[in-house]
Structure 1
Amino acid sequence: MNVHYLIMYALVDCNNFFVSCERTLDPSLENKPVVVLSNNDGCVVSRSKEAKDLGIPMAAPAFKYKELFKKYDVKSFSAKFELYNFKSQQVINIAKAYVLEHEVYSIDELFLDLTGFKYINLYDYCLEIQHKIQKETHIPVSIGIAPTKTLCKVANRIVKDFPKNFDGVYIMDTPEKIEKALKWLNIGDVWGIGRKLTAKMNDSGVYKAWDLLQKPEMWVRKVMGIHGVRMINELKGIRQLELDAPSPKKSIAVTRSFMEMLVKKDDVRERVETFGMYCSERLRKQNTCCKMVTVFVQTNRFRRDLPEYRNAMTQILPNPTNSSIIIGRVVNELFEAIFKEGFHYKRAGVIVNDFVPEDQRLISLFEEDIQNKHLPVMRAMDAMNKKYGKDKVRLGSMSGKNTFGRAQLSPEYEAFLKNNTLPEANFRFH
């Protein structure tokens, strides 16, 4: 049977994305073991192939691998989320220009809808997309093509696991190819099956994805619910998951774990007010104002030897705003209300939500509206920070220290921040 599918998706997946972004700043890192560390330089969040081959696991605590890093000259870098967002947007813009419909799934993945490309060789078409992304962004990508989103994930996995067999693109367009792939793929590697479900599947004799398709639908429905029925249809090549349009941002959050626990009230206050400033900047970037501000603080829940405390408080604003001055005042009031002396604080954050467009603000008749008075100052401050570098112009309460706890930044990165306009991300980092 040689049936070809008319409905096709492609998954464009950036290879070792954060590491690949680091290599765009410093090409000498090519073919060397490289890892990227999380906020506060705590855990490994991205590894080059060379680092994986050394046995460095994902989420490895950096301090435990210091000796190995030294022995094998593993280069480690603080996460540069501004850069990753910037490079992601470049990849997305190139790829989506080739199709009518697309879905940004995460910072390093997007789906393309190739349905209707009846007279086009999809393999060659996607190879062209891959080459253009490589040439213009220097980010290597793998592209898996299949009739469903779940099978796209499988095709992409094949490309990455067998790089010498494929030129970065693999197409599963016949039942024979799908069957062969599913007989190879471990059930735990199927998109949507977690660790607990994998153990349950193994107990029932399901070790490969193909084994799941041999189970009666009643059994699948009992073990996995309607989600499982959709999954087996997806694995059979019957589309269940459509492309999702990006939902507008409903909130902006700036939250951090501190490198060291903070005890002094002014130290925590300065961090929280800085987070409020960053929320304000992001609001202005997308030309929106917020109507709600939330502040939270918490101690280290892993330190059983220390007293635990966490608290949060929200304030609804009389007039929507994106002024750093107004939001800073509100953040300070909320902080005063929830801070308690005598605790070791490990994490804090500011969240703003309930957005309205900047030019559609409804003003309370009973409150003085000073948003418009502040706006020219805020715009000037944003322009100067864009020109001279992040936090060069700031509110008096800010220390100007970076809030990510990122020690290992480079001059190339500082230059990148200064010379590029960075768009707001509309997806999750993971």
Structure 2
Amino acid sequence: MYALVDCNNFFVSCERTLDPALEGKPVVVLSNNDGCVVSRSKEAKDLGIPMAAPAFKYKELFKQHDVKSFSAKFELYNYKSQQVINIASSYVLDYEVYSIDELFLDLTGFKYIDIYDYCFKIKEEIDEKENIPVSIGVAPSKTLCKVANRIVKDFPEQFNGVYIMDTPEKIEKALKWLNIGDVWGIGRKLAVKMNDSGVYKAWDLLQKPEAWVRKIMGIHGIRMINELKGIRQLELDAPSPKKSIAVTRSFMQMLTNKEDIRERIETFGMYCSERLRRQNTCCRMITVFVQTNRFRKDLPEYRNGMTQILPNPTNSSILIGRVVNELFEAIYKDGFHYKRAGVMVNDFVPEDQRQISLFEEDTQNQHLPVMKAMDAMNRKYGKDKVRLGSMSGENTFGRTQLSPEYEAFLKNNTLPEANFRFH
């Protein structure tokens, strides 16, 4: 059996840990640049505020119903996620972190333990220690865990946060209730195609011949129907090493000043190098791009990008910053209103397995002690407290609705570094 631990309205729940007075009130959390709704409390959902709703379109509704809106506090969400993962994973030998607010637990071999009581204990400890409400769905396969978890969230009064789907009767009842578009792995377009073929519920898919499923969905479809039958096809996955790192951002306002754009792009490069050092890798390829607002048809449009292959792999902020600056100079053009830019690094090698060019000077090792000292100080005193001179230190998310209390919270280094980053 697997268990899926899923944090309820995670970002909103994190906000309520800072301010308990928000409990029971409509609350939304906004995306980068405070643009769209990325998390809603149940009270906000009941007001008809959809996910990804543009905040400016709902200003009047927010005001009318006293909806509290907050800029995303990424550092807090990272930290809370790690705390939840640490608690839940301490109950099992094997687990998989699926996303910032979800993880699968492997309950295989728990034959002499009351699984409901065990999962309820996990839920209670997370709530007691972190004040984060979670739903736990238990089932023979990962796909059925998703279904069980959805049932817990849709019928909270009946299941008290934990539901175990462990019999053919429970599975059949759940699949006859679940819309095909809500099955894990069925997208909107595929759901339309399914509806056209008379498949409206998940149970309807199991009644189709295997040849039909294979024709519509390929081998992925066969795995899916087996998962829905409770035949395990998806094992727990270990985190795979990243093949690329990208830091891209849309600006709050369109930028026309070259130095403002340069500072943002160099900052993105610094964040890329920081993440390379965290996973003890170096990159051999760096890409920089800029683009204007494609929705502003009244303004001239321009987009461009350029890639450079490095003679020696590096994770030095100084070296990567120099390359990023050179690439920016090559692609920048005056006279445009820039809305988006980004830096990507690719082609990784382990830090201790770098192949050095015989014909190029290698300064990576000279910079390494400085970089490690800078990283250590930033871990101790807070993000970007020590930085290169080209960085302004301003956040790149465009978060205008952060409270002074939270800013003080960060300055006091209350939150240690976590695994998830939003750069």
TM bucket normalised to smaller? over 0.9
| Corresponding residue for residue 2 of structure 2 | 9
- CA gap of 1:245–1:391, structure 2 versus 1, over 3 A, is closer
Per-residue displacement from partner, 1:380-426 (whole Å, max 9, x unpaired)?
Answer: 43344444443333222222221111111233433246233213328
Task: Report SS of the residue matched to 1:282.
Answer: helix
Shift of 1:325: 1.4
Map of 1:286 onto structure 2: 279
1:256-292 CA deviation, whole Å, 9 max, x = no partner?
A: 0000111222121111011111222222333333222
Once structures 1 and 2 are overlaid, which stretch shifts more, 16-25 or 217-226?
217-226
1:405 to 381, 398, 407: 398
The amino acid that maps onto 1:232 is: I
Q: Deviations over 1:16-59 (max 9, x none)?
A: 01111111222221111111111000000000111111111000
- Bigger shift: 163-172 or 406-415? 406-415
Q: Is the 2:223–2:233 contact (alpha carbons within 8 Å) kept by the matching residues of 1? A: yes
What is the CA–CA distance in structure 1 between the aligned matches of 2:186 and 2:46, rounded to whole Å? 26
Counterpart amino acid of 2:100? I
Match of 2:323, SS state, is helix
Q: Distance in 2 between matches of 1:218 and 1:367?
A: 58
Separation of aligned partners in 2, 1:165 and 1:28: 26
Paired with 1:397 and 1:358, the residues of 2 have a C-alpha distance of: 25
Letter aligned with residue 118 of structure 1 = K
**Residues 384-395 of structure 1: pairs in structure 2 closer than 5 A:** 384-395=377-388
2: CA distance, partners of 1:412 / 1:143: 33
The answer to whether 1:378 aligns with 2:371 is yes
- Report Cα offsets for 1:351-390 as digits up to 9, x if no partner: 1233333344333332222223323333343344444443
Q: Distance in 1 between the 2:216 and 2:260 partners?
A: 50
Please point out which of 409, 414, 423 is paired with 1:419.
Answer: 414
After superposition, residues 63-82 of structure 1 pair within 5 angstroms as 63-82=56-75
Question: 1:218-297 maps to which residues of 2 (within 5 A)?
Answer: 218-297=211-290
Gaps of 5+ in 2: none
* In structure 2, C-alpha distance between the alignment counterparts of 1:388 and 1:242, rounded to whole Å: 40
- Give 1:189-208 correspondences, 5 Å limit: 189-208=182-201
| Alpha-carbon distance in structure 2 between the residues aligned to 1:381 and 1:226 | 48
Looking at structure 1, the residues matched to 342 and 166 of structure 2 have their Cα atoms a distance apart, in angstroms, of: 47
Query: C-alpha deviations, 1:304-338, integer Å up to 9, x for none?
Result: 22222222222222222222211111100011111
Report if the CA contact (8 A) 2:292-2:302 is conserved. Answer: yes
Partner of 1:148: 141
Contact 1:288 1:322 in 2 (8 A): yes
Q: In the alignment, what sits opposite 1:314?
A: 307
Whether 1:52 aligns to 2:45 is yes
The alignment partner of 1:240 has SS state of: coil
SS of equivalent to 2:307: strand
Change (3 A) 1:82 1:250: farther
| Structure 1 partner of 2:90 | 97
1:113 aligns with 2:102: no
1:129 aligns with 2:118: no
Instruction: Describe the superposition over 1:61-81 as per-residue Cα deviations: whole angstroms up to 9, x where unpaired.
Output: 000111111111111111122
Unaligned runs of 5+ in 1: 1-7
CA contact (8 A) 1:25 1:412 kept: no
Structure 1 window deviating more from structure 2 (102-111 vs 212-221): it is: 212-221
Equivalent AA in structure 1 for residue 188 of structure 2: R
Distance, in Å, in 2 between the alignment partners of 1:104 and 1:389 is 25
Q: Is the 8 A contact 2:29 2:72 kept in 1?
A: yes
TM-score, structure 2 length as denominator?
Answer: 0.94
Question: Size of the alignment, in residue pairs?
Answer: 421
| C-alpha contact 1:295 1:334 (8 A) present in aligned 2 | yes
What is the one-letter code of the residue matched to 2:117?
Answer: D
Greater mean alpha carbon deviation, residues 91-100 or residues 161-170: 91-100
Q: 1:370 is aligned with what amino acid? A: T
**AA of the residue aligned to 2:81:** S
- The TM-score, its normalising length taken from structure 1, stands at 0.93
Which segment is superposed worse, 194-203 or 250-259? 194-203
Indicate the residue corresponding to 1:355 in structure 2. 348
- Counterpart residue number, 2:333: 340
Out of 5, 13, 20, the residue aligned to residue 27 of structure 1 is 20
AA at the equivalent of 1:226: I
Shift, 1:105, TM fit: 1.2
AA in 1 matched with 2:419: E
Aligned to 2:81: 88
Structure-2 change in CA distance of 1:227 and 1:360 (3 Å): closer
Q: CA deviation at 1:205?
A: 2.1
Q: Which whole-Å CA distance do the structure 1 matches of 2:377 and 2:402 have between them?
A: 21
Q: Distance in 1 between matches of 2:227 and 2:372?
A: 49
Q: State whether residues 82 and 419 of structure 2, in contact with CA within 8 Å, keep that contact through their aligned partners in structure 1.
A: no
Q: Which moved more, 1:108-117 or 1:37-46?
A: 108-117
> Equivalent residue for 1:299?
292
User: Are residues 1:170 and 2:163 paired?
Assistant: yes
